[in-house]
Chains A and B, each alone.
Chain A
C-alpha cells in the first residue's frame, strides 16, 4: 500500500514529524516501511504558464517558438520541440534558473539563433512516473487543465510536495489497505486526534427515489452478505480534478475519467472497492447477486470472453451477467464517454469466493485483493455515500434519494474479555489496568471493566484480524513497545540439552571423515529423472517420486541416491582444475512403493562418498598416487572401526551392483539382530558413466545410516595389555587367481585356533614364476597367549592346521 503523506495529513496532523520519522514509528509498531518516495525528484522553480502564441521556428522544421505568460509580468519566449504544444494550453514552464530531476539546470539559451527563456516540460522531465498518465501525455509536454492558475509552482499543482510511504503489509493487516485504516494506525502510534470524513452530511439528494429506477436482490447469501447501490443521473464524463488525479498517481493508480477515478479514490480511502455500471445498459434496472450457471459466459472489461463456473459469483442484470462480483465488470455495462446515468455499487463479497475466481481467471486487481482479505462491513455504506458525493460535485451527477440494498451491513459486535494478569504473565510485564485501557483508547477500541482484573474490549469491524485475547495482547505489546518488554531468563524445571544417538553418529562421521581429508558437500533433494535411475539400488524397487509442478526437469524428482549429484560436483570441480577429490554428503534419499502417492515417501538417511584423482596433495618431494578402490574401501572400513563395528559383522560381496565397474565394486552387507541386510555399495563408477560425466577414475560409496546407528557400539571397555610377547609367522600362499583374499583369511581364522590374534595380508602378486592363472598372497599371522610365552611347537601346530585347510579347500601351495 502506497500512502501519500499529503493525503494522510487530511485525517491526522503530521506536524513536526518528517516522513522518515513517521516511517520509523510505523515500522517499530509492526508495519514495515522500507521505501519512502519523495514525489518531487528535484523540481525547482518550475511554474504554470499559458501559451499565448505558437510560431514555427524560422530555421528548424521541428521546433516551435512559443510566447508564454508565466505570471512573471513579462511574457517569455520559449523554443519547444514537442509536437503537441499549442496556443491556449497551460503547461509547466521551467524558467531560467530552474532545476529539473537528473541535475538539469535551465539557462538562457539560443536554439538555432532564437533565444529561449526556459523550457516547457513533459511529465517525465518533471520526474513523474509517466506510466500512470494517459498515452497522449506520455509522449509530449504535460498539458494541464484549462482552469489551472498561471504562475504558480507546478509542484503544488501536481501534488509533488508529497512523500509516499510504501507499507509492506503482512496478510493480517488488510485494514491498512486504506487511507483511513492507515490513519487509525498512525493515530494510535502518535497518539494524535483523527478527523474523519462525514460523507452522509454533505451529500445532496433529489427526492426522486432511486428505488423508482433500480432494484437489487441477493440470491447467494453465503457469498454476499450485503449489496448496496445508488442511482445517479446526468453525469458528465471528463477528467477528474487534479487533486484526485494527483492522489491516485501517488497511490500508484492510473487516472482514467472522473467516474472511474472517484470509485478508485473511495476504494483507496475506505478500503471498499466500488463499481459503476452504465445504468442505461442494465435493462429493467434490476440487479441480482447470484452464482453463475453452468455454461454461462460473459465478456469482461478487458474484452475477454469468460466461461463462468457455478462457484463464481456474478451480478446479473435481466439480460445476463453484468459483472464478476469483486473481480471485474462486464464490457456491456461499462462506463464510457457516452454514459449519462450510472448505478454505483458497494458490497461485501466473500473473500474466499473472490479469491478462487480471480485466481482461476488470472484476474487480480486492487479490488479483488481487498475483497479476498475481507472488507470492513461498516465501510460499505460510507464509501458509497462518499463516492456519490464526489460524483455529484465533480461529475455534475444528480444523486437520487436513498440507498437500494439487500442483505445487511450489521456486523456482530465483537467483544473480547481480556485478563490483565494473563497480559502480564505472557508478556513478562507489569502493566496496570489504566495503562492497558489507555493503549486501547489510542486504537479507538472501547473498553469496559468486567470484574477483577478483567477488561472488556470492543473491537471495531475494521480490525478483522483480532479475534482472540492474544490478538489484543499483541496490540498492547506493540503499542507499549517491544523494546520496553524486559529481558529475562526462563524459570522452572531445567532440562538436559542432548543430541540423539543418530545425531551423535552423524557428527562422529563428519569428524572422522573431515579429519581424514574428506570434504563435506551439500546436494539438492531434487534431481533429474534420468539421474534418479542411477545408483538407486538402496531405494529398492521403488517408483520415482515426482513434484507436481517442478521448476525445471533437472530438479523434478526426489533423489534416490546421493551419488549422481556427487558425480555432478566432481565434474564441476574437475572442470575447474580441482580434480583431486574426496567428497562426502550426509542426506536423505526418498522412495515409495506406491504408484500413486498417498502417504509420505520413506526418507532414508545415507552417507555418500566420492573419491577421484590423486590421494594427498602434490608435493615437491613426493609423487602423489592415484586413489583407487582400496582407498575408498579403507575409508569405509575406518568408519566401521570408529563406530565399534566388528569386521566379522561386515561382508563384502562382489555382486556387480548396477552402474559400477563390474570388476571393481561390491555390495556391503551387515548382520543385524534381525538378520543380514544390505548396507550399501562401493566401487569404481562404470567407465562409460565416467566418460559421460567427464571425470577420471572415480570411486563412490553409499551407505545406509539406519543400520549403522543400530550397530554402533560406543562403549569403550579397557582390555589388559599383553604381558607376554606374541609370535609372528608369515605365509606366502599360492592359489588360483579367482580365489579371494577374504576367503583365505576367513579359512585361516577358522582353522588356526584361539591363539591366533590377527591375520593381515601384506602382499599380493602374480607372475610367470608362479605359473599361468596363479597368484601369491602373503599373510602375516600373529599368535599370542594372555598368560604365558608361546612355544615354537604349539605355534607350528596352529600354522600347520591352517595350511592343511588351505590346501584342502583351495588347492593352495606354500611358497618357500
Chain B
C-alpha cells in the first residue's frame, strides 16, 4: 500500500510539473485530492490493515497529500502572479494624455477687485454700504457741497432722467445717505462700492459706466495723518508691502483739505517705466478731510467730529493690478478675457 501511495505521489507530482493553466491544475487537484480522488481511493483500503500498520500508512498518506498540496498551492500562486502581471500590462494608460478638469468659472475681474478691497477694509473694521444707482440731485450733488451752479459740476457731465433724478456720477452719495441713517452716531466706518455713470465717449481709458469704491470715516479726533496711515496700509495690502504713497493737494467740493494719491508704480516700483510714464508714480485715488458743510448736512457737528473720505476707480485699480490696457475689455465680456481670471 505504501508503494501504491509513493507511486501515486510520483505520478501526481509528475503531472503537476506539466500543468499549464489554472483549470488543468484544478482538474488534477480533484483527480488526486478530491472526495472521489485517487488518494482517497487508496486510503479507503486502510480498513484492511493491521493496527500496527494503520498509523504508519496513515502518516505516509498525509505526507503524500501534503507534498501534492504544496505543489498545487505553489502552482496556484504562480498562476495568480502571472494573471496579475498580465492584467497590469493590459491596464496601462498613456499618462501624458490630458486629464479631465474640474469645471471652474470665475468671478468678473471687477467683482474680484471689489471683493479684495472690501476684504482689506473689513479687516480694518469697515462695513460695506450700498446705495441706489439712480440718485436724486440732492444726494448726488447738493449734500456733497455741490450746490446748483457750482463750477465743479462742470467736471462731471451726468445722465439725467428728470431735472431732479440722475444716474449717480459717483458713489459719494452713499456717504451722505449713511450719515443720515446713522443719525449722528460715531464712529462711522464704511466703504461703498458701486456702479457710476458719466457722459464719456468710450475709449481705451473711458467708459460711460464704471465702478467706484468710496470710503468714509467719521469720529472724534479723526486726523489727516490717520487718512495717510489708512491709505498706506490699504495700498500695501493691495499692491505689496513695499508700496509707497504720495499725496498731492487737489480739490473736491466735499473735502477740505483734499488730495490726490499716487502709489509707487506697481510695474517698476518707482524707477520709471512705460506704465508710469517714467514718473515712478501712478494716480489711484482722491481723498480728503470731510468738508464741514457735508458733515453738517449729514447731521454731524463739524466742531466735535471730523472725518476723512476717499474714492477710487475700480477699473483703474484692476487695469493697474492686472496690466489690462483697455477698459472696454471689462464690458465686452469676451470669455477669452474673463477666463484669464479663473485662478488665484
Contact = CB atoms under 8 A, between A and B. Distances in A.
Contact of A572 (B133, B219, B334): B334
B250 interface: yes
B20 interface: no
B327 interface: no
B220 A428 contact: no
Contacts of A634: none
9 contacts: A174-B151, A428-B226, A487-B225, A492-B219, A495-B127, A497-B189, A515-B104, A600-B165, A619-B98
Nearest to B303: A422
Contacts, number: 241
A381 to B, nearest CB: 25
Given A427-B223, A487-B228, A576-B334, A482 B248 contact: yes
A520 B335 CA distance: 10
Nearest to B126: A497
Number of chain A interface residues as a range = 35 or more
B187 A522 contact: no
Contacts of A524: 209, 331
B123 interface: yes
B225 A427 contact: yes
A32 B248 contact: yes
Nearest to A495: B125
Given A495-B189, A522-B110, A603-B134, A426 B105 contact: no
B161 A547 contact: yes
B217 interface: yes
B108 A489 contact: no
B125 A510 contact: no
A496 B125 contact: yes
B225 A497 contact: no
B187 A493 contact: yes
A175 B106 CA distance: 51
B226 A489 contact: yes
Contact of A172 (B189, B230, B251): B251
Interface in B176-224: 186-187, 189, 195, 197, 199, 201, 208-209, 217, 219-224
Interface stretch (B4-12, B33-41, B82-90, B114-122): B114-122
Interface in A472-500: 473-474, 477-478, 482-483, 485-500
Interface of A: 27-30, 32, 170-174, 352, 355, 372-373, 425-429, 468, 470-471, 473-474, 477-478, 482-483, 485-500, 503, 507, 510, 513-526, 545-551, 555, 558, 569, 572-573, 576, 578, 581-583, 588, 590, 596-601, 603, 616-617, 619-620, 622
Chain B interface helix/strand/loop/mixed: mixed
A173 B122 CA distance: 37
B335 A573 contact: yes
Contacts of A520: 105-108, 111, 338
Interface string B54-92: 000000000000000000000000000000000000000
A426 B289 contact: yes
Given A427-B224, A487-B225, A495-B189, A547 B100 contact: no
Given A427-B225, A503-B128, A622 B133 contact: no
9 A-B pairs with least C-beta separation: A428-B225, A517-B103, A30-B249, A428-B223, A170-B251, A474-B257, A497-B122, A478-B249, A482-B247
Given A172-B251, A520-B111, A582-B105, A525 B197 contact: yes
A490 B123 CA distance: 14
A468 to B, nearest CB: 7
A514 B125 contact: no
A581 B335 contact: yes
B259 interface: yes
B149 A355 contact: yes
B257 A473 contact: yes
B152 interface: yes
Given A488-B226, A526-B209, A617-B101, 16 more contacts: A29-B249, A32-B250, A171-B251, A172-B151, A425-B223, A427-B223, A468-B292, A470-B289, A485-B225, A486-B225, A489-B226, A517-B104, A520-B107, A525-B197, A578-B335, A598-B164
B257 A525 contact: no
Contact of B257 (A478, A515, A523): A478
Interface string B113-149: 0010010011111111010111110000000000001
Given A498-B127, A603-B134, A30 B248 contact: yes
B105 A590 contact: no
Number of chain B interface residues as a range = 35 or more
B195 A525 contact: yes
Contact of A492 (B221, B225, B335): B221
Contacts of B248: 27-28, 30, 32, 482
A425 B225 CA distance: 10
A525 B223 contact: no
Contacts of B130: 503
Given A427-B224, A597-B165, A170 B250 contact: yes
B229 A490 contact: yes
A516 B103 contact: yes
Nearest to A492: B219
A516 to B, nearest CB: 7
Nearest to A493: B187
Interface string B231-253: 01000000000000011111100
Nearest to B228: A487
A625 to B, nearest CB: 14
A425 B104 contact: no
Chain A interface helix/strand/loop/mixed: loop
Contact of A497 (B103, B124, B136, B154): B124
Nearest to B164: A598
B155 interface: yes
A512 to B, nearest CB: 10
B316 interface: no
Contact of B160 (A492, A494, A549): A549
A352 B148 CA distance: 10
Contacts of A355: 149
B162 interface: yes
B256 A471 contact: yes
A516 B105 contact: yes
B111 A473 contact: no
A551 B108 contact: no
A449 B202 CA distance: 54
Interface string B277-298: 0000000000001011000000
Contacts of A174: 151
Contacts of B224: 426-428, 477, 485
B115 A519 contact: no
B17 interface: no
B225 A488 contact: yes
A392 B159 CA distance: 52
A610 to B, nearest CB: 11
Nearest to A555: B208
A146 B189 CA distance: 71
Contacts of B228: 428, 485-488
Contact of B159 (A515, A547, A596, A619): A547
Interface string B12-43: 00000000000000000000000000000000
Contacts of B150: 171
Nearest to A586: B111
A425 B338 contact: no
B172 interface: no
Contacts of B186: 493
B46 to A, nearest CB: 52
B133 to A, nearest CB: 6
A756 to B, nearest CB: 34
Contacts of B159: 547-550
Nearest to B230: A490
A582 B224 CA distance: 47
Given A483-B246, A485-B228, A551 B208 contact: yes
A28 B279 CA distance: 13
A499 B333 contact: no
A499 B334 contact: no
A491 to B, nearest CB: 6
Interface string B247-277: 1111100001111100000000000000000
